[in-house]
Amino acid sequence: MMNQLINIPLNQSVIVSDLTQIDDRLRRRMIALGFYEGCSIKVKRKAFFSGPLTIEQTEHRQMIAIRQSDAEQIGVIVP
């Protein structure tokens, strides 16, 4: 079932399914860091006041922070 990354509870593994809605440069940077469509990720933390989300690429243990507004645009599938 397709969902938005923003709605996923902490530490639940999900598969990235849609990166087409986010800004082009953000998509490229995410892909370069290993966050591509089909990879498994989880949300590790959410900052205060709707601040950035820390997400981890489960396989590589790579962590990045992105904004909530961008996380709303990222489609994920709960396996």
Where on the chain is the footprint of other proteins (CB under 8 A)?
Answer: 23, 25-26, 28-34, 36, 44-52, 54, 60-67, 70
The candidate with the shortest Cα–Cα distance to 55, out of 37, 8, 74, 63, is: 63
Smallest gap from Cβ 44 to other proteins, in A, equals: 7
Measured from the CB atom, the residue of 2 and 32 that comes closer to other proteins is 32
Q: Which is nearer to other proteins, 12 or 51 (CB)?
A: 51
Spatial CA neighbour of 79 closest among 21, 8, 6: 8
